């Protein structure tokens, strides 16, 4: 998606994910946010990559990760 000019890719560190179910819960909550095109979550690394139409407000991302039951450490 790097060829597109109107997207933002942000990588976040999330703690507490240990399995595929955890990844799915985080993906589901973040995918529901306005403007999010895709979400990739890795329990092994704790990294979550979000591609969105514009940069997301970190407080909004934090709330979504919290709703999924995990903790947002911040951007990487």
Q: What is the pLDDT of residues 1-45, one digit of tens each?
A: 445 568 999 999 999 999 999 999 999 999 999 999 999 999 999
Q: Please, are residues 56 and 35 in contact by the beta-carbon 8 Å criterion?
A: yes
CA dihedral sign, ordered 62, 66, 34, 6: positive
For the stretch 36-76, pLDDT in tens is 999 999 999 999 999 999 999 999 999 999 999 999 999 99
Which of 56, 55, 32, 30 shows the shortest CA–CA distance to 41? 30
Quick check: pTM over 0.75?
yes
């Amino acid at each position: 998606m790097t060829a597109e000019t109107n997207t933002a890719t942000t990588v976040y560190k999330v703690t507490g994910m240990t399995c595929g179910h955890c990844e799915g819960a985080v993906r589901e909550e973040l995918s529901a946010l306005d403007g999010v095109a895709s979400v990739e979550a890795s329990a092994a690394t704790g990294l979550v990559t979000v591609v969105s139409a514009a940069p997301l407000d970190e407080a909004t991302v934090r709330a979504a990760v919290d709703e999924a039951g995990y903790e947002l450490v911040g951007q990487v």
